[in-house]
Each structure stands twice: as structure tokens, then as C-alpha cells.
A and B are shown apart, each in its own frame.
Chain A
Amino acid sequence: MTKPKVLIVDDEVDFLEALAERLSSRGIEVHTANDGITAVKLASKEKFHAIFLDFAMPGLNGIETLKLILSQNPNALIYLLTGKASLKDGVEAIKLGAKDVLEKPIELNQLLDVIERAETEFTIQLEQQIKESISSILRTKGW
């Protein structure tokens, strides 16, 4: 069984390092980025079970990063992590395709639950894609 793989994006380096360390020690493969552009590049190269984006970042903010990642991969499971979001921001994020908006600081157990659920959803998505590919191949073969 493969490790859950997540990407966490936050401009607070110390927060990012400490959170990554805690998740890694619980068997999660954690990738980090300090800004939106790096996050978009990483997300285009690798598939993650879940991506956690800080809302307020210099340069690309959480919403802009969310849009760019989803434009590359509409199935990406993205969560906004924030200490400041207003109702309007939260609604906008979810309408754009975020899975959820989580309040920062988040309890570690809550975050682990989210990762577990994202991993399950990711697997279901993958199985669905495989089924569709097989069906498509079978159809072209006339079966």
C-alpha cells in the first residue's frame, strides 16, 4: 500500500516545516511549497492525494493558485487552509472547486481525517478512470 501523498502550500516557512514533520512522522509523504507558483509547478509534475493551500499568500493567493491547479487537473482534491477567510471567500473557493475550507490552526487529527478521506476519494477517482479507459478500449475493439 502506498503512502498518502500531500502538498502543503504556505508562506509561513516555520509553520510549514513543523506541520510537514508531524505528518511525515505519521507515515504521510509531504511535499511543501512556499508560494503559489511553486505549488502549480509541483502539481503539474506529480499527483497528490490532497493539496492544502493557504488563503492569504504574497504573489498568487490561495484562490488564484486553486484556479491554476484545477485548470491543469480538474480532479485535484484541494483544501483551503486559512485563519481569516470570510464567508464570501469560502463560498467562492468551494464554487471554484475546492473540496473544503479548513480553519487554521487545524487540529492534527482533523487534518489526518481529511487526508484519509481524500485518499479514498482519490482511489475511487482512479478506479473510475481505469474503468472508463478499459471500456473505451473495449468499445474501439468492437466488444
Chain B
Amino acid sequence: MDKFDEELLFVNKIISGVTHELNNIFSTLNEIAGSLEDYFDFHQENSIASENIKKKINKIQLQIDRGKNLIKAFNQFSHQTDSTSKTFNLSDFIQQTILLHRYFANQKGVKFEIDNLDVPAYVTCNEFQLSFTIHKILLEIFKYQFETPTIEIKIQKEGIEFRANVSLNDPAELEGFTKDLNETVSEWKIICQFSFTNSLIKFHIIVSNWS
């Protein structure tokens, strides 16, 4: 790790700590504003004064939302150097990421079928960025309703690249899934592609195995 990376890591740690504290403040304000709103909703207060107070609460909530967005941006930034170009097993990593998506998967009744993930696939890249990419892709998929939802995941090695293929087994429900998301984060050489055929959706996470 060079001097610049060390400094960046230090700055990120500070930002992460400050962000955590800010998040606590905004979470508390969010609940207090919600309590005030509940008061008016449950007590059916209709006077002009209470309407004015409700407007003010809405304004407070708008500011809280701004704060929350700011925190998200800070969090994203502060986690960037969590694992700068670290070498890890992609198979384990995908399994762990999927484990974290159980909440969304349960909501949608989605099952994961994971094939050949027992074979170690060592890659070097930014762990946070990769996790964020997979997270975004899975969230896109979860937006749709499927009759018999199963998501199949396979990892293959192609040359110096590992390719994670994900396919869905219910094409009938995919009408309107026309979002074409191509994202290239050249700094970490992670390319995320959505490609569509008549019968299935595939995405490829190509992690360049370079150091």
C-alpha cells in the first residue's frame, strides 16, 4: 500500500466514523418526526395550527431525507478502500452476497440454484465495488414478479477472466424488462453487462484478474 492509499484509508476511516454518528442523529430525528406525524394522524387534528405544524414536519422530513442521501454517499465513499484490489475467492464471495439477499429473495419467493461454486475462483479486484455491482443486479431482478422463480448462478473461467453467469428460468414474465444497463468501472476493471435473449436473461460480471 503506498502513502496515498494509506492516507485515503485514514480519511475513509474518519468519514466512516463521522457518518455513523450522523446516521444515528438522522435516524433519531426521523423517528421523532414520524412520532409527531402519527400524533396528528391518530388524533385527527384539523385546525389551521395543526395543518401548519404538519407542513413544518414535512419540511423536517425533507431535510432528513437530504441528510440520509448524504450519509449514503459518505458510506459509499468510506467503504471504497475497505478492500482495495484484494485477492479473494469469487465463489465464496458470491455465496456470501447471496446470503445477504435472503431478505429480498424471501419476499419474492425466489430460489437460488448455485452450480459449481465449490471450485475456488481467485480474483483480484475491489471487493466493495464487486459486491455493490452484484447487489444492484440482484435488486434489478427482484423488481420483477416471476411464476416459478429460480436464479441459476455459475462461475466459469475464461482466459484470464472469471465470468459469473446468472440466468432466470421464467421468460414469460419478463416482458418490459428492457433496461439495458452497461456499466464499466474502469478503475477496478469490473464490467457489468445485462444481455437479453428471448429465453433468458444473463449477466456477466467480468473481473479482470490483474494486479
Residues of A within 8 A of B (CB): 12, 14-15, 18-19, 21-22, 25, 56, 83-84, 86-87, 90-91, 94-95, 100-102, 104-105, 108, 117
Contact = CB atoms under 8 A, between A and B. Distances in A.
Contacts of A102: 103
Contacts of A22: 31, 34-35, 38
Secondary structure call for the A interface:
helix
A104 B64 CA distance: 13
Given A22-B38, A100-B102, A12 B128 contact: no
Given A21-B35, A22-B34, A87-B128, A12 B27 contact: yes
B84 to A, nearest CB: 14
Contact of A91 (B19, B71, B96, B128): B96
A83 B31 CA distance: 14
Nearest to A19: B31
Interface of B: 16, 19-20, 23-24, 26-28, 30-32, 34-35, 38, 42, 68, 71, 75, 79, 82, 96-97, 99-100, 102-103, 106, 127-128, 131
B23 A84 contact: yes
Contacts of B26: 105
B102 A12 contact: no
A91 B135 CA distance: 14
A86 B82 contact: yes
B127 A87 contact: yes
Contacts of A86: 79, 82
Nearest to A95: B99
A83 B27 contact: yes
B11 to A, nearest CB: 17
Contact of A83 (B23, B32, B99, B106): B23
A101 B100 contact: yes
Given A22-B38, A94-B100, A84 B16 contact: yes
